[in-house]
Chain A
């Protein structure tokens, strides 16, 4: 049981919770995740750690209320407790050796877990550029935090309502074309974004690390639900990952496997408020 000490709504669907979890705070490294279970009926859901403070003994998670469990988690307030909170799980991010300059790319709520990558590596003395992409201005998160923890910050929106108009891959291509040399790229966001970042970096052979988010149950190397195909081999995101060499990942398969329970997700616990865009669009079309 962990207590929520701080709650902040970052935008209408994205929430930040800081919880008291001293053991995890002491151990956490960028790239690792926790598994939470809201109550005794709840699912086990993985979330990558967004920040941790070993001195205060707290761990920060940032999540989008996309389904039942994240909705229930988002309904909790400061002072409330989360029944189960386990971690840090997964292997910490490992950059290739002798890296001097990296580009961290975040998409949407993925920026929440791209942030610790920028922060940690910048603090370690690396040159860090950040490209953060959002659909529009109203869902931009962590802008100030990124600016304080990198060398160059590029903010992109799909609709041009803030920052520059365009996709993160366009910005990355532009930076590469302008002569920027990156020793590695870390990409965290929606699966299509990670896939196309990898396609962008592949011709230049820039090592590209992606953080995968497959469905997961135990998260400790037991159930095999989180298996992904990487380099033609079965790998388990909970113990072998969640970071993998993006050039080796079968993203289409991951996307397919992640969609398995989309139907079930919407019918549990008396139709909770659902923030999935596709569903909202569907409701408009079929009232």
Chain B
């Protein structure tokens, strides 16, 4: 008899006003008992609507059935069959728009907490099973993966499991891409990312750090060097700015810079050298997940006041509901329908105020979206000593400008066949933000997976 509770089994969290002073993980995850209780809410539907909502097609009802039986090891094996990074996706996936959105239990009451269960299983395995995966029999074919973010790691994992000799080239000194420089420790502990990378190494994947493809080596040189196919998962690129007065003052950051200082360079730890100005009042501009991450980091870095400025209203925010709620609980001051028009500096060129104007949403246009419009004369000032712009990114030009024959679209994103992720050049595949522009971790993982499949087909026909 299933558990017919209409609500998800709650997972414990650090109290908001405690956690906004530390970088420890916010959600503490399920205990085995809680996991079994929640797993028993799954109806094990025949047509599995949840699986269709998953970009990497995890066999969801099957793994949940194993959790309900208390066989967590078997549950893990089912997940890892299709998902290379379960510890990661269990934490950062927007399940509410994917698997959980389609869950039958969600029609009346809350969906099964598929994300929490995935995370529980992955964490349980990491903690209790020490066996590393074994290196499969090699087929002797060399393939290269550019970038070690979610797309690259997934693609590398799937290719290595098929016997390919995979080398990942990573520009940074640490593997993980956005998982290490962007997503903060309190949402995704870096030790967990490292454990996923270690699993890849156990599969025989060679990880070359500090290699910037496009500069240190080009894709064509890799192919001359015997790599038979290349996957480009080089990620999103340069941050965008608003183009308003004062954006070059000292104390104005892109979210990428702010998060990189905190997460990758560990500015929050006193024994690391990379500095970050201690700010008292911070304005974060934007309404996506990156804006939430930046605001919550700023609070943890000791800011007394953190404003989140967004030009539309809360319903239009692209950030996950959970992130918005977490941020509010942590006393981030949401100023909605509000847009910066100018940043003011003091006599030393440092940020001291931000001037904003109130916005009003107009009637929905043809696309159905309500465009914001300035309310004339409604300008006001907020005293801040730092401003973080979280407005998205434009693709990195390095690969496209050094690889002849790779087509990009108007925005500079690599053009691919959506079924195979193949670029406009034979043997070169791409996925993740380099193709889509800023999107989610799980979509990048899905793209890496699809590309691995197509690369395998291409290479086995050669």
Comparing A6-14, A86-94, A118-126, A176-184, the segment that makes contact with chain B is: A86-94
11 A–B pairs (Cβ distance < 8 Å), ordered by A: A23-B211, A41-B273, A43-B274, A44-B173, A86-B212, A88-B215, A218-B260, A221-B398, A222-B235, A227-B241, A264-B275
A residues 195-239 with Cβ under 8 Å of B?
217-218, 220-225, 227, 229, 234, 236, 239
Q: Given the complex of chains A and B, what is the CA–CA distance between A49 and B236 in angstroms?
A: 27
Q: Are B215 and A217 in contact (CB under 8 A)?
A: no
Q: Are A68 and B238 in contact (CB under 8 A)?
A: no
Residues of A contacting B397 in the complex (Cβ-Cβ under 8 angstroms): 221, 239
Is A278 part of the contact surface with B, judged by Cβ < 8 Å? no
- Closest chain B CB from A53 CB (angstroms): 17
- Closest chain B CB from A33 CB (angstroms): 10
Q: What residue in chain B is nearest A37 (Cβ atoms)?
A: B173
Q: Given the complex of chains A and B, what is the CA–CA distance between A84 and B181 in angstroms?
A: 17
Is A69 part of the contact surface with B, judged by Cβ < 8 Å? yes
Q: Are A224 and B256 in contact (CB under 8 A)?
A: yes
- Digitize B271-284: 1 where CB-to-A-CB distance is under 8 Å, 0 elsewhere: 11111010000000
Q: Are B396 and A217 in contact (CB under 8 A)?
A: no
Q: Are A222 and B260 in contact (CB under 8 A)?
A: yes
Comparing B10-18, B50-58, B247-255, the segment that makes contact with chain A is: B247-255
Q: Given the complex of chains A and B, what is the CA–CA distance between A227 and B242 in angstroms?
A: 14
Residues of B contacting A217 in the complex (Cβ-Cβ under 8 angstroms): 257, 260-261, 264-265, 274
Is B216 part of the contact surface with A, judged by Cβ < 8 Å? yes
Q: Given the complex of chains A and B, what is the CA–CA distance between A3 and B274 in angstroms?
A: 23
Comparing A134-142, A150-158, A254-262, A279-287, the segment that makes contact with chain B is: A254-262
Is B226 part of the contact surface with A, judged by Cβ < 8 Å? no
Q: Given the complex of chains A and B, what is the CA–CA distance between A257 and B398 in angstroms?
A: 25
19 further A-B contacts with Cβ under 8 Å, apart from A23-B217, A84-B209, A221-B238, are A27-B216, A42-B273, A44-B274, A220-B171, A220-B396, A220-B398, A221-B397, A222-B237, A222-B238, A224-B238, A224-B239, A224-B241, A225-B257, A234-B247, A234-B248, A257-B248, A259-B250, A260-B251, A261-B277
- Closest chain A CB from B19 CB (angstroms): 25
Residues of B contacting A83 in the complex (Cβ-Cβ under 8 angstroms): 173
Q: Given the complex of chains A and B, what is the CA–CA distance between A234 and B244 in angstroms?
A: 11
- Closest chain B CB from A254 CB (angstroms): 9
Q: Are B396 and A239 in contact (CB under 8 A)?
A: yes
List A residues at the B interface (Cβ < 8 Å).
23-24, 27, 37, 41-44, 68-69, 83-89, 217-218, 220-225, 227, 229, 234, 236, 239, 250, 253, 256-257, 259-261, 264-265, 268-269
Q: Are B216 and A24 in contact (CB under 8 A)?
A: yes
Q: Given the complex of chains A and B, what is the CA–CA distance between A230 and B249 in angstroms?
A: 15
Is B210 part of the contact surface with A, judged by Cβ < 8 Å? yes
Q: What residue in chain A is nearest B278 (Cβ atoms)?
A: A264
Q: Given the complex of chains A and B, what is the CA–CA distance between A260 and B237 in angstroms?
A: 24
Is B349 part of the contact surface with A, judged by Cβ < 8 Å? yes
Q: Are A265 and B248 in contact (CB under 8 A)?
A: no
Q: Are A239 and B238 in contact (CB under 8 A)?
A: yes
Q: Given the complex of chains A and B, what is the CA–CA distance between A89 and B213 in angstroms?
A: 10
Number of interface residues of B (CB under 8 A): 42
Residues of B contacting A234 in the complex (Cβ-Cβ under 8 angstroms): 241, 243, 247-248
- Digitize B327-369: 1 where CB-to-A-CB distance is under 8 Å, 0 elsewhere: 0000000000000000000001100000000000000000000
Is B172 part of the contact surface with A, judged by Cβ < 8 Å? yes
Q: Which of A37, A87, A268 contacts B212 (CB 8 A)?
A: A87
Residues of B contacting A223 in the complex (Cβ-Cβ under 8 angstroms): 239, 254, 256-257, 260
Q: Given the complex of chains A and B, what is the CA–CA distance between A89 and B172 in angstroms?
A: 13
Q: Are B171 and A236 in contact (CB under 8 A)?
A: no
Q: What residue in chain A is nearest B216 (Cβ atoms)?
A: A23
- Digitize B199-215: 1 where CB-to-A-CB distance is under 8 Å, 0 elsewhere: 00000000001111001
- Digitize B48-73: 1 where CB-to-A-CB distance is under 8 Å, 0 elsewhere: 00000000000000000000000000
Residues of B contacting A43 in the complex (Cβ-Cβ under 8 angstroms): 265, 273-275
B residues 79-114 with Cβ under 8 Å of A?
none
Q: Given the complex of chains A and B, what is the CA–CA distance between A224 and B275 in angstroms?
A: 16
Q: Given the complex of chains A and B, what is the CA–CA distance between A87 and B217 in angstroms?
A: 10
- Closest chain A CB from B387 CB (angstroms): 13
Q: Are B248 and A229 in contact (CB under 8 A)?
A: yes
**Shortest 3 CB-CB distances between A and B: which pairs?**
A224-B254, A264-B275, A256-B349
Q: Given the complex of chains A and B, what is the CA–CA distance between A88 and B218 in angstroms?
A: 12
Residues of A contacting B172 in the complex (Cβ-Cβ under 8 angstroms): 218, 220
Q: Are A41 and B238 in contact (CB under 8 A)?
A: no
Q: What residue in chain B is nearest A2 (Cβ atoms)?
A: B210
- Closest chain B CB from A133 CB (angstroms): 27
Q: Are A227 and B273 in contact (CB under 8 A)?
A: no
Residues of A contacting B254 in the complex (Cβ-Cβ under 8 angstroms): 223-225
Q: Which of B212, B273, B349 contacts A220 (CB 8 A)?
A: B212
Residues of B contacting A250 in the complex (Cβ-Cβ under 8 angstroms): 248
Q: Are B396 and A221 in contact (CB under 8 A)?
A: yes
- Closest chain A CB from B397 CB (angstroms): 6
- Closest chain B CB from A12 CB (angstroms): 23
Q: Given the complex of chains A and B, what is the CA–CA distance between A87 and B243 in angstroms?
A: 30
Contact of A222 with B173 at beta-carbon distance under 8 Å, contacts A260-B251, A264-B275, A264-B277 already known: no
Q: Given the complex of chains A and B, what is the CA–CA distance between A212 and B32 in angstroms?
A: 56
Residues of A contacting B261 in the complex (Cβ-Cβ under 8 angstroms): 217
Q: Are A86 and B260 in contact (CB under 8 A)?
A: no
Q: Given the complex of chains A and B, what is the CA–CA distance between A255 and B248 in angstroms?
A: 11
Q: Given the complex of chains A and B, what is the CA–CA distance between A257 and B246 in angstroms?
A: 12
Q: Given the complex of chains A and B, what is the CA–CA distance between A270 and B348 in angstroms?
A: 28
Residues of A contacting B238 in the complex (Cβ-Cβ under 8 angstroms): 221-222, 224, 236, 239
